[in-house]
Every structure is written in C-alpha cells, then in structure tokens.
A and B are shown apart, each in its own frame.
With several copies, the nearest count.
Chain A
Amino acid sequence: MMTTMEIFKTEKEALATVQSNQTIMVGGFGLVGAPLTLIDALVELNVKDLTIISNNLGEQGKGLGKLLLQKKVKKAIGSYFTSNRDVGEAYQRGELEIELMPQGTLAESIRAGGAGIGGYYTKTSVGTDLAKGKEIKVIDGEEYVFEKALKADVAIIRAHKADTLGNLIYYKTARNFNPIMATAAQYVVAEVDEIVEVGQLKSDEIVTPHLFVDGVIVAKKVLTKEGVVDNG
C-alpha cells in the first residue's frame, strides 16, 4: 500500500491508476459482497486486456458481466462462470481466456499471494482434468498438486465499514473473498457502506487492518432484495 490512506469522493479518482493489461482482483461471490460502484467505474474506464481474478464474472449484464460485454477482459481466473452464460459464449468465440480453479484453490492462492507464500500443495483436483499438466508431489504418502500464488496490481473490494485509517469490517456473507484480496494486490480500494472515525471499530473486531488498504469510497450502488439500486 501507499503510506497514506485516501478517502475518495469519486470512483473515477479511486481507479485513476488502473491501466490496460493489469491484473485486477474483484471481491464478491456473485453480486454478494461485490464492489458494485467500483465495478461500474471500471466499466467506464478507457482500458482493455484486463485479467480479472474473481470467483465469477458477475451475472449476465450485471456487475463484472458488464465489463465482459465491453470486451475489456482478456482473461478471467475464477471458479464458477456457469451463472453468466455470456462467459461461455465469449470463451467459445475465442474472445476470452479462462483459468478455471476449484473455489478453495482460488481462495488459497489469493491468500498465499498476500502472505508471501510462493505456492503450495493441495489434494484438491488431484486426478481430475484441472490438475492436468500440474506438478504432483507425494507428501506423507498422499498425492498433492502444486498451485502457485496469485497476486494482482489492483484489488477492488467491498466491506461494510471503514474507519479513517482504513481498517475494515465486513457484513455477514458479503465477507467472502474480500479480506484475502485486500492482502494480495499492490493497490487496494474498498467500497463501504459507511466511513467512521478511528476508534469506532473495536480492535478485536477489525478483520482487515489498515496496512492493507490504500483507499476507501462510500458505495453508490448497493445490493438489495430488489436488486442493485442507487444508494441515496
């Protein structure tokens, strides 16, 4: 991170440093816990050939699904693209590279990237098509597959509250990939429901300590029962 955390007024400023060909982690499980405001800003940017690391590519025409329709995504790394049929079609047309990973491997590789681990061995996917071409190591008599850490240039994440230092807490299952992505990118911006004074978040409940966070912005798009709506 940079040494001073910024509180951004506009999502355009928050993403001012994003460039073509970068790798971008995007939090969320489907639309739940996805940084919808920052994703919309990403869609507006004049960039292309992005590599997106995210569990899904949103839904059809929603969230990251918009970015895909704009053909700004060169490659998607994730675990479940079936819920957006545009992904399969872009892939069949040869417009999109896909790296499919088991969800646990995706999560673990992101955590490894953030924690300075170069790679690790998991049993998950041993003996399946997803392990093809990957190194196998026998540890204590069992086969494991080697997986490399994932890192990114930028992570855009969704949290519940930030304090003015950049400490973050999350809301229920909107936590998902967000805290680990906060650790694994050079530049991390969090979209939050509310920014509170330092001291308002208890030291024992902070999930993401501020040293991971470069900027925060209040969410302008939020997920409700009625779908994605503008916030206030």
Chain B
Amino acid sequence: MANPIQELIAKRAAQELREGEVINLGIGIPTLVSKYVEDKKVFFHTENGMLGVEDVLEEKMDPNLVNAGKQPVGEGVGSSFFNSADSFGMIRGGHIDVAILGVLQVDREAHIANWAVPGKNIIGVGGAMDLLEGAKKVIVTTTHTSKDGKSKIMKECTYPITSNRSVDMIITELAVFRYLDGNLHLTELMPGVRLEEVEKNTEAEFIKSLE
C-alpha cells in the first residue's frame, strides 16, 4: 500500500540522481526511490552483493535474488554479482556515488542516528556505518517528525550516532536541507508547505537559503 508521504519524499530524492551514477538504497523510504528515476540511466548497488538491481514483477520473483532489505529484486542487463567483502570494498573504497538512507534522528551537524535505540531490543547495524564512511554523497530521506510528533531534525542526536561523517542532504515531506560549511541550510520547501511549518517542526537551527 503506497504511503503518499513516503512516495513524495522518494520522488524528490530521485531528482537528485544523475545519469550514470551508482546508487545504494537503504531500507524503507529509500527503497522506493528506484520507482522514480524514470529514463535516467542509473545503477543500483546492494550491499549483499549486486550491481544492477531493478524492480521485479511478482511472477518473476526469485527468492535467491534479493536486496539489502531481503526483498526480491530484478536483474538489469549488465548486472553483476560479487561476495560481501568485495561489495563492502566498493562501499568503503569510495566507489558508490550516492547512498540514500533512512534515519531515526539527524542533528544540526548532519550526523545521523539510525542503528540503535537505547533500552530497546534492536541489535543490528548492517551496512549503514560503511555507507556513511564510503559513499561520495549521502542523502537522508525521512519523515520530518516521529509518530509522536517530535522533530527528527534535532539539536543533538539522543540515540547513538552512526558515523562522524555529516550527511549532505536531508529530504522530508516538508523540506529539503543541505549541509554546507558546517550549517544546515533550508534550500527548498516541498510543494504547498509554508516556512512556518518547517520552523515549527524543526528542532535544530538552520539557515534559510531558499532558492
């Protein structure tokens, strides 16, 4: 069932991708991005060991051909398979152009937290830390607030951070932020969103740099 907020965010993220880029999509909203690349030729990499991931029709699903979210995927022409050490060599080695990731929190220095919640039984990190170290550009796609209405764009992450590296861009259903020169810049309001809404729902300070 398509969630219109998630689809909106994914569609906006897809606009950031450029012809020929190699993209790694995280679990959740990022996975939806591939639907919106249209006729741009980009290449999707998945950390379990494949380059050339495509969407797949249900009748063609193969249980042994999956992405990092363990969802069945398709195999584009010119795709290739490799082991997990080689796959993370590509990630850490700087060979992935863009990683699009979900987060639990992101702070004013664009550090993200997306792998652990203190006191909860979440014992998993997966490839998130590697992608943050290695991808040339990291885009965060997230709802602006959590279910209880609190801003996910916070002064400081209260959950454990995923990396020292700041992400490059944050896309929510309300706005687009870029992290430049040590500051979060609000560069875009999503269609129909007023500045006050963004201000009200964003805990971290940001600079207004609307284009």
Q: In their complex, do chains A and B touch, with some C-beta pair under 8 Å? A: yes
Given contacts A82-B122, A83-B124, A211-B45, contact A29 B84 (CB under 8 A): yes
Interface string of B27-49 (1 = CB under 8 A from A): 00000000000000001011111
The interface size of chain A toward B, counting residues with CB under 8 Å, comes to 77
**Cβ contacts under 8 Å, B96 to chain A:** 211
Return chain A residues, CB-CB under 8 Å to B160: 128-129
* Contact yes or no, B19 A104, CB < 8 A: no
Could you tell me if B92 and A122 are in contact, using CB atoms closer than 8 angstroms?
Answer: yes
**In the complex, which residues of chain B have a beta carbon less than 8 angstroms from the beta carbon of A108?**
85, 88-89
A127 at the interface (CB under 8 A from B): yes
The yes or no answer to B99 lying at the interface (CB within 8 A) is: no
1/0 per residue A101-142: CB within 8 Å of B? 111111110110111110000111111111000000000000
The answer to whether A199 and B78 have CB atoms under 8 Å apart is yes
- Inter-chain contacts of A187 with B (CB < 8 A): none
> Do A223 and B123 touch (CB < 8 A)?
no
Task: Pick the contact of A198: B65, B78, B89, B130 (CB < 8 A).
Answer: B78
Q: A87-B123, A163-B78, A183-B95 are in contact. Are A111 and B85 (CB under 8 A)?
A: yes
Judged by a CB distance under 8 angstroms, whether B25 is at the interface is no
Q: Report chain A residues within 8 Å CB of B121.
A: 82, 85, 88-89, 91-92
Distance in angstroms between the alpha carbons of A178 and B48 in the assembled complex = 11
Given contacts A32-B63, A89-B121, A172-B64, contact A104 B130 (CB under 8 A): yes
Determine if A172 and B81 form an interchain contact, defined as CB atoms under 8 angstroms apart: yes
B102 on the A face (CB < 8 A): no
CA A207 to CA B89, docked complex, whole Å? 14
> Which of A91, A103, A199 has most chain B Cβ within 10 Å?
A103
Assess whether B133 is in contact with A116, with CB atoms less than 8 Å apart.
yes
Question: What total count of A-B pairs have CB within 8 Å?
Answer: 212
Which residue of A129, A173, A184, A212 contacts B46 across the interface (Cβ within 8 Å)? A173
Q: Which residues of A contact B163 (CB under 8 A)?
A: 125-128
What is the CB-to-nearest-CB distance from A125 to chain B, in angstroms, rounded to a whole number?
A: 5
Which A residues are in CB contact (< 8 Å) with B49?
173, 175-176
Query: In the complex the two chains form, is A88's CB within 8 Å of B129's CB?
Result: no
Tell whether A206 pairs with B80 under 8 Å between CB atoms, given A4-B19, A79-B124: yes
In the assembled complex, the Cα of A15 lies from the Cα of B116 at a distance in Å of 36
List residues of A (1-31) whose CB comes within 8 Å of B's CBs: 1-5, 29-30
B-chain residues with CB within 8 Å of residue A107 when the two chains form the complex:
83-85, 87-88
Q: Is the CB of B125 within 8 A of A102?
A: yes
- Are A117 and B92 interface neighbours, CB within 8 A? yes
What per-residue 1/0 map shows which CB atoms of A203-218 lie under 8 Å from chain B? 1101101111000000
B63 x A224 contact (CB < 8 A): yes
B61 at the binding interface (Cβ < 8 Å): yes
Contacts of A115 in B (CB 8 A): 85-86, 88-90, 92-93
Supply 8 A–B pairs (Cβ within 8 Å), ascending by A. A115-B89, A117-B92, A165-B78, A170-B81, A173-B65, A174-B64, A176-B49, A203-B80
Binding site for B on A (CB under 8 A): 1-5, 29-30, 32-33, 55, 79-83, 85, 87-89, 91-92, 98, 100-108, 110-111, 113-117, 122-130, 163, 165, 167, 170-180, 183-184, 198-199, 201, 203-204, 206-207, 209-212, 223-225
B residues whose Cβ falls under 8 Å from a Cβ of A: 18-22, 43, 45-52, 61-67, 70, 75, 77-97, 116, 121-130, 133-134, 160-164
